[in-house]
Amino acid sequence: CDAPSAVNFAENNKVGDPVTTIFVQAGVILELTSTDIPFRLDANQLIATAVLDYENTERTLRITILVENLNDNPPVFDQNVYHASANELSPIDTTVGRFAATDADGPRIFYQLASSPSEFKLKSSIIPEILVNGRLDYEKVKEYQLVLEAQDTPLASPPEETSFTATTTIMISILDVDNRPPWFQPCHQTEVNGAVVCETTGYTGKVDLDEQVTGVLPLKPGPLYAIDGDFGINEPIRYSFLSENEPGLFVINQDTGNITMSRPADVLEPIRLTVLVI
């Protein structure tokens, strides 16, 4: 607002004469706090309510201007898109992150998830923390998209109340955890009690008595090969023989899993090899 600190006003005025005009911005309320003065306010004009006489009048008028805060600013998020991550073994109610908006009109903001998978939830309508709300599995879903809405009035406000909103997107990447063993290939994935296992029937091969296969031993349904069951980690695989009923007849490459013969076959019964991968 803009008002002069001193005003010249001629004596012997008429009741109702304007003394001065106070220029105010939208939303500013003018109020006279003194009641024993010969003036009143008419909108933004100061009006004389009595005939003033210079020789008999000496008063000081203090004008107090009260500024009323109106809801005329929307909430604002710092970013249009936030990125966060969550461990796939995170327990329920683990905090993923806090994503607060600001409002120039005041600190009180209300939140809701406008779009959210069941695996996540909002801590409360006034605490913008995203919490884990269900089982996460990197191999099933690697990333989630949430839409968080901020509103500067209570969520159940009457429709006639002035209200502003803002939205932001939260991208949550799921982090793989080393919780699965290596899987021999090929295999068939099956879910058992919420856990995924990969079933395989093993490998078979054939050698002739008194002969030694040169190179890698052919196997069915394919070469001996395993992968890390945690695809997001994909650690190197190491191969070794856990047991063999004809020790020393075969050798396994610890890096590739290739099996070769160290000497000609000298037994007629089936040869069983148990391979350990880590």
What distance in Å separates the CA atoms of residue 30 and residue 2, rounded to the nearest whole number?
12
pLDDT value of position 194: 76
pLDDT digits over 123-159, tens only?
A: 999 999 999 999 999 988 999 999 999 999 998 877 7
Give the CA diameter of the chain. 139
Neighbours of 81 (CB within 10 A): 10
| Mean pLDDT (whole number) for 94-98 | 98
CA 156, chain centre distance (Å): 24
CATH, domain range 81-175? 2.60.40.60
Tally of CB atoms within 10 A around 235: 11
Domain boundaries along the sequence of the chain: 18-67, 81-175, 182-277
Whole-number pLDDT of residue 202: 95
**C-alpha 84: how far from chain center:** 5
Section 84-100 average pLDDT: 97
CA–CA gap between residue 220 and residue 200 (Å, rounded):
12
Q: Check whether 261 has a pLDDT greater than 80.
A: yes
- 129 has which bridge partners? 98
Rounded to 5°, the CA angle 193-194-196 comes to: 100
Long-range contacts for 26-30 (Cβ within 8 Å, ≥24 apart)?
26/70, 27/67, 27/68, 27/69, 27/70, 27/72, 28/1, 28/65, 28/66, 28/67, 28/68, 29/65, 29/66, 29/67, 29/68, 30/1, 30/63, 30/65, 30/66
182-277, CATH topology level: Immunoglobulin-like (2.60.40)
User: Would you place residue 217 in the very low, low, confident or very high pLDDT band (cuts 50, 70, 90)?
Assistant: very high
Confidence (pLDDT) at 30: 78
Asked whether this chain's domains 81-175 and 182-277 adopt the same fold, the reply is yes
Q: Which two tokens stand for residue 231?
A: 């695809």
Listed residue (23, 29, 26) closest to 45, CA to CA: 23
